[in-house]
Amino acid sequence: MTMGATQENGDDEMDQKVKKYLRGEAANLEGLKDKKLKGQLAVREELYGKSAKAAAKIEKWLLPSEGGYLEAEGIEKTWRIKQESIAREVDILSSRSQYDIVLPELGPYTLDFTSNGRYMAAAGRKGHLAIIDMKTLNLIKEIQVRETVRDVVYLHNELFFAAAQKKYPYIYNRDGTELHCLKEHGAVLRLQFLKNHFLLASINKFGQLHYQDVTMGEMVGNFRTGLGCTDVMQVNPFNGVVALGHSSGTVTMWKPTSAAPLVKMLCHPGPLSSLAFHPNGHLMATSGKEKKIKIWDLRKFEVIQTLPGNAKTLNFSQKGLLAAGTGSFIQILADFSGSQNYSRYMTHSMAKGYQVGKVLFRPYEDVLGIGHSMGWSSILIPGSGEPNFDSWVANPFETSKQRREKEVHSLLDKLPPETIMLDPTKVGTVRAARKKEKPTKEEREAEMEAAVEAARDTDFKKKTKGRNKPSKRAKKRKEIIDRAKRPFLEQRIEEQEMSRKKQKTNVETEMPKSLQRFVRQKAT
């Protein structure tokens, strides 16, 4: 009896999951008279059903973990729940992700996580660099470079990271050994790494954008933005386009194969303080000094929501939560309805005097890392991380052998810089035929000469006596040459007529309407 009840419950659960993946109700094929169409639609419906069942099975067996959010009861608000209350309710392993590292002499700090969320690099403005294993919370390595460090970013895995120092960016390995000094980049303010293309992008204090291939060491792109110094830089994870926020309130989007920006959009009336991209690449959040946060739809380049509030730093989580930090206050915004309407979800206040410099969600964990003036902190944000990881994409538990294998595979799958574009779905499609360009005067004359030569070389049939005279043959050859020339001459006459008409209209438009009747008409 118990076995039967369990099986029924499992079947009901499976049916619910299948319904989730079905494309609405099945089409009613009874009223169709066309047998061929009816058969085709029946096959299509069967395929939809099979794919929905396969997706439901994958969800049941391969995606066992479910993401959850904070849920309030009655008139209670989620944003009133403090970190202390969350720490009392969660398990011991999760409560270890709540901590404060206080290093006031070396801050302010900036952070970066590896793509699998296992390791974190922390950089203090006074020259402190540290690598931490986030699973065991062990310090792997820390070094003091004895000069200003403005930014830090991991390269393709945890073995290498780049730090933007006072004069130049440097690349270090996991043991803290300096590998490269990238002098061509200059005094860099912000760094970004494009993991699919193995490109290190930087913006320096002179407003120059550099792209360097870290596999070959080749400088792929070096462009002057022409919009002054900026430290607002972010890469779109969907298409690899780098966005810069400028003091004029504009956001420019760049790719390494174009010296001009792909997009230049005015987002705010004043300087931009931060920007962030949603993991799906279709949403962008920007914050301006006029104390407004705007959410943009990048498919239409339209603002879909404007929120009040100042934000020095912005970041989207894997599940689409938006963190905004300013002063010693952090606000988390969420879109639960799926209609791209963000509202307040959680808030957190740091100790008085702490100035938040950077907020960054940790991948595959419900954790938010905060770099501030007195060190760095970590708080719990339920529902921010992706609950199920794909070990082919990012594996938080990968061994050294798996890491080596993944490095080889990612190098083989490395994308060329030409594949970076606003719409990456166009890669692999057929380019539309271009409009035929007008041939030049020299090309037209060469074509006409070739046609005349071909006409001259025409062979004539040998005819009966009297009809094969040299005079008749010359006359016939002249007719063939004239026939070959005719289309070129007609085209030339047409173009002359068109240019004459254009000149006439230009003269008429230059003069006021009342004086046009006094314009001397040229003899035609």
Indicate the length of the chain as a whole number. Answer: 524
Rounded to whole angstroms, the Cα distance separating 261 from 460 reads 62
Q: What is the pLDDT of residues 338-370, one digit of tens each?
A: 778 899 999 999 988 899 999 999 999 999 999
Going by pLDDT thresholds of 50, 70 and 90, the confidence category of residue 1 is very low
- Residue 91: per-residue pLDDT: 87
Rounded to whole angstroms, the Cα distance separating 292 from 289 reads 7
Q: Which of 3-7, 39-43, 278-282 has the highest mean pLDDT?
A: 278-282
H/E element holding 491? helix 470-510
Average pLDDT (389-396) is 83
- Residue 6: per-residue pLDDT: 53
> If we measure between CA atoms, which residue out of 286, 305, 379, 288 comes closest to residue 344?
305
Cα angle: 175, vertex 176, 178; to 5 degrees = 120
- For every residue of 166-194, DSSP letters joined together read SSSEEEEETTS-EEEE-GGG-SEEEEEEE
Average pLDDT (368-381) is 94
Average pLDDT (152-160) is 94
323 alpha carbon, distance to own chain's centre: 19
pLDDT at 303 over 80: yes
> If we measure between CA atoms, which residue out of 380, 404, 415 comes closest to residue 158?
404
pLDDT at 282 over 80: yes
Average pLDDT (190-202) is 95
**What region does 132 belong to: left with phi over 0, alpha with psi -120 to 50, or beta?**
beta
Q: Which domains does the chain have, with CATH numbers?
A: 78-423 (2.130.10.10)
Whole-number Cα distances in Å, 111 to 123, 172, 517: 6, 16, 74
Going by the DSSP 8-state scheme, the letter that residue 97 receives in this structure is T
pLDDT at 437 over 70: no
- Residue 505: per-residue pLDDT: 65
- Residue 417: per-residue pLDDT: 93
- For every residue of 397-410, DSSP letters joined together read T--HHHHHHHHHHH
- Residue 335 near residue 283, CB atoms below 8 Å: no
Report which residue type is found at 487.
P
Average pLDDT (415-438) is 79
Check residues 212 and 35 and name the one with the higher pLDDT.
212
- Residue 106 near residue 126, CB atoms below 8 Å: yes
pLDDT at 333 over 80: yes
Rounded to whole angstroms, the Cα distance separating 294 from 336 reads 18
The residue written with tokens 């922390």 in the block is: 122
pLDDT at 216 over 80: yes
Q: In what order do the strands lie in the sheet with 178-181?
A: 149-154, 160-165, 169-173, 178-181
Rounded to whole angstroms, the Cα distance separating 463 from 466 reads 8
Rounded to whole angstroms, the Cα distance separating 214 from 203 reads 16
